[in-house]
Structure 1
Amino acid sequence: MDRQVSRGAGLNVIDRQMSGRAGMNVFDRQMKRKQRKWAAALQGSHNYDYLRDEVGSRVADRVYDIARTFPLALDVGCGKSHIAQHLTKEVVERLVLADTSEDSLNQRRGCEIPTRCVLADEEFLPFPENTFDLVLSSMSLHWINDLPGAFKQIQAVLKPDGVFIGAVVGGETLYQLRCSLQLAETEREGGFSPHISPYTAVSDLGNLLGQAGFNMLTVDLDEIQVDYPSIFEVMTDLQGMGESNCAWNRKSVLHRDSMLAAAAIYREMYGHPDGSVPATFDILYMIGWKPHESQAKPAKRGSATVSFSDLSKVGHTVAKETP
């Protein structure tokens, strides 16, 4: 396996670009990069990889569902290669791992697929058009400011008839934590500030993929519930995952009284009989294909030979002929 990490899209240039338009962005990408670097440097950081490993395995399952061998694949926002560890070279012959965190790339899991690592931002992919047969992404793109633009870039680097398979955190993820913090701050401070990132709705993904030029779309949702001793462990693990909020309008300080009140509310509203509390993660999975002339196409409008009004007659005839 190639252990070298090459620099991709010029991260210093990207930092300047992002800071110049920060007022129009939802997320502070520099802060997210710092959070991931901090998380990767933690002693025992692998203890916080359980959710990424689980989602990565489910993305890999979707790759196996496609009866095809992919000569060259790209993993966007790969982290510690949470998908690649579940794949074999019979399915993916060569793999490019791209991430903003060099620390994560250096700690990537072993796999049997020949790999090349590229330090690159998910919003600025440094690859030529029509390069990859398969593009993967798991639990990374929900921190993208320009998600439609990111989908268009992914579609561009795919070869015709190539496929994109991804997973993002979305829906009502961490609603228990969100509600508890809002109620506690309202009670103790007379108002609340956002502590949980805004997430993409499952109903939006199909539209965004279609606008980016993908076809034969599949979008589905998995709900993963993880139990923790208390709200404090929930927040500690989110930090260890590098999944802390990085929205520009985030509140950096949470007062002790509000935190204690939130812990009590969390346990009262959502707690289990044994005292533990659940945290829900909605994982949105998506599959989209780059168009190619060999793909099946829908029939032209008006080409049907049977009208819907005739279907009731067919059913009525069959019913009458049945003894």
Structure 2
Amino acid sequence: MSVQPDLFDRSLFRIRRHRALKAAKPGADFLLRAVAVDLEERLLLINRTFGTAVDLGGHTGLVTQAIVNAGKAGRVLRADLQVADPNLPLPDLVCDDALLPLGDQSVDLIVSALTLQFVNDLPGTLIQIRRALAPDGFFLATLPGAGTLTELRDSLTRAELEIRGGAAARVLPFADTRDLGSLLQRAGFALPVTDLDTITVRYDTMFALLNDLRAMGATSILKDRSRTPISRRVLFRAAELYAENHSDPDGRIRATFALVTLSGWAPHESQQKPLRPGSAKASLAEALGAKEQKL
């Protein structure tokens, strides 16, 4: 049995996340703020409350506040990833989302925002999350999906091919919505749901976008990334291509963030289940007012 090699350099992820938290650039959390508002609205639609909730990601406290605002949990634990946020009071725990320090059936609600895309073994992490939930516990998460930063990927690739004759991977790969839904099912979640919401952000130049990604701690952490820094010539050519191919009439460029929201429940006997094949009380022919034909 072959072992899937790691895609991401988690040590580099920790360093860049810590650097971004220390810098705390004003406004750099705009995407996380939008996601936190959406997650809060989704929690408000759930007609039940939970005992203990976990904000799996923790940093900035925005998701913790969203859970509190929704009023759906008796207690909320903030779990900062890799390092504690230096701008907030100490979290309830600092953990690695690839190896959750949560006992089986120990919490009732887990919410995550814009972090799970950096996990090497996402199927394994989803299984851990499902096991940590008590029966009828709820999981809710948002992460970037396929189509995210497609303009940046296109511009960097074309610039490198033009100038160097070859291109290195510069933008992280993102999972497709359907694939993420399948992973929820494989992890054992009941009533799994995935949906897609696309946010388009506009910038004056590609460099302004790169500055925001750096401030988010979201630059490439690919393990097999090129160790050779991208040249100024390639960067400037990429910026030109970006402006030529992905700008609006006013000259500002577009950056797409395709946000996939996942939700699922830890199985419980009270949940709705599909009917067994052949258990219907009426035939389709009766419903349509037609005569049934036997083959």
> Which of 121, 124, 130 is 1:146 aligned to?
121
> In structure 2, the residue corresponding to 1:51 is in which secondary structure?
helix
How far residue 303 of structure 1 moved from its aligned partner, in angstroms, is: 0.3
How far residue 91 of structure 1 moved from its aligned partner, in angstroms, is: 1.9
**AA in 2 matched with 1:91:** K
Q: Deviations over 1:77-113 (max 9, x none)?
A: 2221221222336322211111224342x4249xxxx
1:109-124, aligned counterparts within 5 Å?
117-124=92-99
Rounded Cα–Cα distance in structure 2 between residues aligned with 1:307 and 1:79: 54
Rounded Cα–Cα distance in structure 2 between residues aligned with 1:278 and 1:29: 29
> Which of 252, 259, 269 is 1:293 aligned to?
269
> Which of 45, 59, 80 is 1:79 aligned to?
59
How far residue 232 of structure 1 moved from its aligned partner, in angstroms, is: 0.3
> In structure 2, the residue corresponding to 1:186 is in which secondary structure?
helix
Instruction: Indicate yes or no: 2:44 matched with 1:91.
Output: no
How far residue 313 of structure 1 moved from its aligned partner, in angstroms, is: 2.9
How far residue 307 of structure 1 moved from its aligned partner, in angstroms, is: 2.9
In structure 2, the residue matched to 1:218 is: 193
Q: Is the 8 A contact 1:95 1:116 kept in 2?
A: no
Label 1:92 to 1:116 Cα distance change in 2 as closer, same or farther (>3 A).
Answer: farther
How far residue 309 of structure 1 moved from its aligned partner, in angstroms, is: 4.1
RMSD: 1.9
Length-normalised TM-score, structure 1:
0.84
Q: Is the 8 A contact 2:146 2:173 kept in 1?
A: no
Length-normalised TM-score, structure 2:
0.92
Higher fraction of helix: 1
Structure 1 segments (4+ residues) deviating >4 Å: none
Rounded Cα–Cα distance in structure 2 between residues aligned with 1:246 and 1:308: 54
Identity %: 34
Q: How many residues are aligned here? A: 287
How far residue 76 of structure 1 moved from its aligned partner, in angstroms, is: 1.2
In structure 2, the residue matched to 1:278 is: 254
In structure 2, the residue matched to 1:236 is: 211
> Which of 298, 302, 316 is 2:278 aligned to?
302
Instruction: Indicate yes or no: 2:138 matched with 1:163.
Output: yes
1:192-211, aligned counterparts within 5 Å?
192-211=167-186
Q: Which runs of 5+ in 1 are unaligned?
A: 1-21, 110-114, 316-323
> In structure 2, the residue corresponding to 1:102 is in which secondary structure?
coil
Rounded Cα–Cα distance in structure 2 between residues aligned with 1:149 and 1:142: 13
> Which of 51, 58, 64 is 2:31 aligned to?
51
Q: Is the 8 A contact 1:223 1:281 kept in 2?
A: yes
Label 1:52 to 1:295 Cα distance change in 2 as closer, same or farther (>3 A).
Answer: same
**AA in 2 matched with 1:304:** A
> Which of 136, 140, 148 is 2:111 aligned to?
136
Rounded Cα–Cα distance in structure 1 between residues aligned with 2:138 and 2:256: 29
Q: Deviations over 1:5-57 (max 9, x none)?
A: xxxxxxxxxxxxxxxxx981000111001110010111x42421111111111
**AA in 1 matched with 2:18:** K
